[in-house]
Amino acid sequence: MAKDTMNKSRVNRSLGGDIMVTLMLVLVGAFMALPLYLSVVNAFKPLDEIFIYPPRFYVMKPTTTNFKQLFQMTSNLWVPFSRYVFNSVFVTIVVTISHVILASMAAYPLAKHKFPGNKGVFKFVQTALLFTGGTIALPQYIIMAFLGMVDTYWALILPSVASALGLFLMKQFMEPIGDAMLEAAKIDGASEWRIWWQIVMPIVKPAWLTLSIFAFQSIWNATGNNFIYSEQLKLLPTVLTQIQAGGIARTGVAAAASLVLLIPPVLFFVITQSNVLETMAHSGMKD
Amino acid sequence: MSTQTLTNQTEIKQSKFKLWKADVKHTVSEMKKNKVSYLMMAPFLTLFCLFTVLPILSSMVLSFTYFNMLEIPEWRGLYNYVRLFLEDDIFLIAIKNTLVFAFLTGPVSYLLCFVFAWFINELTPKIRAFMTLVFYAPSMCTSIYVIWTYIFDGDSYGLANAYLMKLNIIDTPIQWLTDVNYNVGIIIMIQLWLSLGTSFLAFMAGFKSLDHSLCEAGAIDGIKNRFQELVYITIPQMKNILLFGAVMQISSAFAVGPVPMALGGFPSTDYSLHTVMVHIYDYGQVRYEMGYASAIAFLLCLAMIGTNKVIQKLLKTND
């Protein structure tokens, strides 16, 4: 399968072009990776090496002290650390799954059905994407207070489920699907729900897998500070920033904390990306 | 003569009314026919209206008031907008800086997203997965960019200063992030480093949904190299995703703010890094003038909508 797709992309390619492309990928890739590499290295540096002169690109005596300290600090918290982990994992799973499903469900009629209000809804969604002010947190708070959702899991979950990005992305990917195929399914007696779930969703698998990456990381990195004040409902990033705020002596611990926080999104990314490859088989279904 | 035109006019009015009535009837029956469509959209749109549309609308209303978050908002009419352009010199600086950032990072990063998604897509699966991770990783964790302070620290402990001094290129450390000669350039570089995010991954997904048989057909039809394939086969298939990328790019290019604030300080030297987003933060989070902050946010949104219109027109004429 893998070999097959490789051969397919070899049409229209020259050796010189391949060399140029590889060279650019290596150079720019190195630039992209350098700061990441430094973050990893710094997390394994003992405190005296972080503030050494001249600064070094590598670590001489790698240590796990920073990580040990991080776990010590987290075990002395008032609320058990596992509670924060549970909160983050729970909220992330719920938001990722429900966002992908609800956004795709709304995107399907928007992309493939003609009904009054279709264009208007889409324009609205697109415009909402362009409003980035940070001034909506306050009205959001008022609405949540009105619904009695402040300081509950709902306040963390519901606003992220309805982010405009997902609807826009899914609609753009669903639009090119051939009408003939959907029409045929309808004639065969499939309901709209079934067409959406069993025909459309498998075709746009690369899109919703990508969307799940966006949803996962944006909620994983969210602090939810605006709507949560009970300690036992707070999320991991909030707690880790509190630890990082402990001053210059915690520089190493802070580096370790951001590294630990990065692990779940990276794992999710790797799993999802390897799944995207399998969808190649479906690409012939478009017309 | 005049009576005739009058009857004509009433006739036209009547026929218009009839048309309108038929229109409504038609619309209602169409709506009934498409009940499933509305049902499918209902859960998402309900939440979307509650937590996005309604807050945006209330923010727009607040922009016409004085509101310090403690007392009841006080109606000010257009005063906030007048004040922005006539009394607030720093806002004009913020507009200038935002435009510089938006027009330097926006188009360049759009191009980078597309070109690198295109390059990486052609690698073998394992290398492809690794390279995608390398390029996308900076966007994955919101605070990872702080590591740049370690590279561009103003004293000799910063990596850049230490190595430039070791090589005798400079003899005193450079204040990379606060010197107005360097900080804008460095922030632009970091923004570009951060910008292979949403659009990049969406383009990757777009390349994966391409129909490969078309490339082979193209080769038979006389397409000779990868550029011709890109222009004649790939881009026409990806128009929808390119449009998505453009909107995402606009919204992130105009929203430059958190990064310069975290790295270059707040307020920055001579307001050299003071963008519209920083200005909103200043009034909303520091001075608690929500009405004024909302007015700025509304103007920023208008600027983005305008840019979006222009770009969509450009994308359409390139068909």
Q: What is the ipTM of this complex?
A: 0.86
In a domain, A182, yes or no: yes
The boundaries of the domain holding residue A256 are: 68-285
pLDDT in tens, A193-208: 999 999 999 989 889 9
**Under 8 Å CB-to-CB from B1, ≥6 apart: which residues?**
none
B63: phi then psi, degrees, rounded to nearest 5: -65, -15
Label residue B239 exposed, middle or buried (CB < 10 Å: 0-12, 13-18, 19+): middle
**Mean pLDDT on A114-127:** 89
Residue B51: which of A57, A126, A158 has the nearest Cβ?
A158
Structure tokens at B125: 């699966």
Give the model's confidence band at A3: pLDDT under 50 very low, under 70 low, under 90 confident, else very high: very low
Residue A258: which of B55, B141, B219 has the nearest Cβ?
B141
Predicted confidence (pLDDT) at residue B179 exceeds the cutoff of 60: yes
Report for A272-281, B161-170, B292-301: range of highest mean pLDDT = B292-301
Give the model's confidence band at A286: pLDDT under 50 very low, under 70 low, under 90 confident, else very high: very low
pLDDT of residue A11: 66
pLDDT of residue A110: 93
Predicted confidence (pLDDT) at residue A58 exceeds the cutoff of 60: yes
pLDDT in tens, B60-102: 999 999 988 888 888 988 999 999 989 899 999 999 999 999 9
**Mean pLDDT on A95-100:** 95
CA dist B164 → A81, B151, B298 (Å): 43, 12, 44
Cis previous bond, A139, omega within 30:
no
Could you tell me if A164 and B95 are in contact, meaning their C-beta atoms sit under 8 angstroms apart? no
The tally of CA atoms less than 13 A away on the side-chain side of residue B46 is 7
In a domain, A239, yes or no: yes
Q: What is the mean pLDDT of chain A?
A: 83
**Mean pLDDT on A249-270:** 84
**Mean pLDDT on B114-121:** 92
Quick one: which H or E segment has residue B75? strand B74-75
Interface list for B 190-229 with A (CB within 8 A): 193, 196, 198, 201-202, 204-206, 208-213, 215-216, 218-219, 223-226, 228-229
Percent of chain A scoring above 90 in pLDDT: 25
DSSP string computed for B96-154: HHHHHHHHHHHHHHHHHHHHHHHHHHTS-HHHHHHHHHHHHHHHHSTTGGGGHHHHS-S
Distance CA B246, CA B117 (A): 15
Percent of chain B scoring above 90 in pLDDT: 35
User: Which of 3.40.640.10, 1.10.1060.10, 3.20.20.10, 1.10.3720.10 would CATH assign to domain B79-317?
Assistant: 1.10.3720.10
Predicted confidence (pLDDT) at residue A8 exceeds the cutoff of 60: no
Degrees to nearest 5, angle at CA B164 with B163 and B168: 115
In a domain, A127, yes or no: yes
**Mean pLDDT on B5-24:** 79
**Under 8 Å CB-to-CB from B239, ≥6 apart: which residues?**
B315, B319
Contact between chains at A168 and B210 (C-beta distance less than 8 A): no
What are the extents of the domains in chain B?
A: 79-317
Give the model's confidence band at A10: pLDDT under 50 very low, under 70 low, under 90 confident, else very high: low
Label residue B3 exposed, middle or buried (CB < 10 Å: 0-12, 13-18, 19+): exposed
CATH number for position A186: 1.10.3720.10
**Number of independent structural domains in chain A:** 1
Predicted confidence (pLDDT) at residue B173 exceeds the cutoff of 70: yes
